[in-house]
């Protein structure tokens, strides 16, 4: 049989009787697949492995503990041989051919009337690959296609009418490689993308030409599209039957108003999914080599957006404070922490445009950082980290690095030749 002789199709076997001849691992695998398709499975084999016995004991299939008989083919819609004995498999295939019943002959794929493809499912898409009768090659190709679909490299978008939905997708701090696999997949299925100013903007260029992108980006103090209007857009587009992705920077539930959007959608009967993202509060400091917690330095951290909340966080160098979008209020925030008791020599790091080509790191102390930031022209988007964890950064000046705070060699002096980005 040549691959040109194959006419690819899919069988709907729900409720239809099928026959599996054989009781080994291949038979069990094929029986399981047929059961998943809803077929009524009968297995004929003198002996059966445990997996088949358990399916039979559970009432999911019928096992006839005997040798094959020609009449076993009567009335079935599909046959799978898997005895491991070419003579028996050939006899079964001949009986099936005489009755015009499609049969997969596991012992002789060249003469088999049908082939079983390598199959995978991604969402509601079923992938079936035939590779000239080479099962390992087919499985490798199947896995590659499935991975590409799951990662969003191949389109999963529906083209026929479907029920609308909303997915709140956290895109991470901006690098396209930091969005989750689930988020990338949903973006590839979207009919409408409601996009923030931050996040993986380059992914928008990969969307199909007919995918609508609605820009609702905000900057500090400038909200051209109010939150109430964003909520309305999400619901209105979903109710028109569109798959809507609300693409956000960071994580939808970390100071991203994702909770409000999800609640609004549910209140209006719209199915909503939340896909967590890599929050900039943790990932952007990491891009500058700053962990928000570190043994011997800090066991906890707080994330805030303005100096008003700083009175409620621990004013200690061993408790990390992360300020998001706080450049405009940096002087007030530093003053507030100082008044709360945080020493003026507490290390402070500012990371602008984390993970992007123009990332910049400025490091100083609570007493100097506002002047440094002003002189350097520091601007949002930026993440500010306050606390002793800044000492770990390779960008920290040498006098900050008084000890090695690793778990393997505590208090060992350390040095660094990494350039320090301070004015």
Task: Just list the catalytic residues.
Answer: 196, 218
Task: Give the C-alpha distances (Å, rounded to integers) separating 374 from 336, 350, 370, 390.
Answer: 18, 12, 6, 20
Dihedral angle at the C-alpha atoms of 141, 147, 149, 151, nearest 10 degrees? Answer: -150
Q: Other CB atoms closer than 10 Å to residue 148's CB: what's the count?
A: 14
> Vertex 17, ends 127 and 2: CA angle to 5°?
45
User: What kind and span of H or E run contains 351?
Assistant: strand 347-352
Cβ proximity of 76 and 17 under 8 Å: yes
Q: Are strands 192-195 and 118-122 parallel, antiparallel or unpaired?
A: unpaired
CA 341 to centroid of chain Cα atoms: 42
Distance CA 376, CA 374 (A): 6
Distance CA 203, CA 416 (A): 36
Task: Give the C-alpha distances (Å, rounded to integers) separating 214 from 210, 277, 316, 343.
Answer: 13, 20, 43, 46
358 burial level (CB within 10 Å; 0-12, 13-18, 19+): exposed
Cβ proximity of 279 and 250 under 8 Å: yes
DSSP 117: P
Q: Are strands 118-122 and 102-105 parallel, antiparallel or unpaired?
A: unpaired
């Amino acid at each position: 049989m040549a691959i040109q002789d194959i006419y690819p199709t899919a069988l709907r076997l729900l409720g239809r009787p099928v026959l599996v001849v054989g009781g080994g691992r291949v038979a069990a695998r094929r029986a399981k697949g047929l059961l998943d398709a809803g077929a009524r499975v009968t297995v004929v084999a003198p002996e059966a492995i445990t997996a088949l016995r358990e399916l039979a004991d559970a009432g999911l299939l019928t096992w006839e503990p005997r040798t094959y008989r020609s009449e076993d083919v009567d009335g079935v819609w599909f046959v799978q041989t898997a005895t491991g004995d070419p003579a028996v498999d050939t006899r079964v295939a001949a009986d099936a051919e005489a009755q015009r019943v499609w049969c997969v002959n596991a012992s002789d794929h060249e003469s088999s009337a049908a082939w079983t493809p390598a199959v995978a499912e991604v969402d509601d898409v079923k992938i079936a690959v035939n590779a000239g009768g080479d099962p390992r090659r087919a499985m490798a190709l199947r896995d590659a296609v499935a991975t590409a679909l799951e990662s969003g490299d191949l389109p999963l978008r529906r083209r026929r009418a479907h029920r609308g939905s909303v997915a709140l997708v956290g895109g991470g701090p901006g690098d396209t490689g930091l969005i989750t696999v689930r988020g990338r997949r949903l973006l590839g299925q979207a009919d409408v993308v409601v996009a923030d100013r931050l996040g993986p903007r380059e992914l928008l260029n990969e969307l199909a030409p007919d995918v609508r992108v609605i820009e609702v980006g905000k900057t500090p103090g400038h909200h051209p599209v109010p939150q109430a209007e964003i909520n309305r857009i999400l619901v209105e587009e979903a109710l028109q039957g569109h798959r809507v992705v609300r693409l956000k920077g960071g994580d939808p539930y970390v100071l991203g108003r994702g909770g409000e959007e999800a609640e609004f959608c549910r209140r209006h009967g719209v199915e909503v999914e939340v896909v967590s993202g890599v929050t900039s509060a943790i990932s952007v400091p990491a891009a500058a080599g700053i962990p928000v917690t570190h043994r011997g330095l800090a066991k906890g951290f707080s994330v805030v957006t303005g100096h008003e909340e700083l009175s409620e966080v621990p004013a200690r160098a061993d408790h990390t404070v992360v300020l998001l979008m706080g450049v405009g209020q940096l002087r007030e925030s530093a003053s507030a922490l100082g008044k709360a008791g945080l020493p003026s020599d507490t290390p402070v790091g500012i990371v602008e445009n984390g993970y992007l080509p123009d990332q910049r790191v400025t490091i100083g102390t609570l007493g100097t950082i506002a002047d440094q930031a002003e002189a350097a022209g520091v601007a949002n988007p930026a993440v500010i980290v306050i606390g002793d964890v800044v000492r770990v950064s390779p960008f920290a000046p040498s006098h900050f690095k008084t000890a090695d705070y690793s778990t393997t060699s505590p208090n060992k002096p350390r040095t660094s030749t990494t350039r320090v980005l301070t004015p």
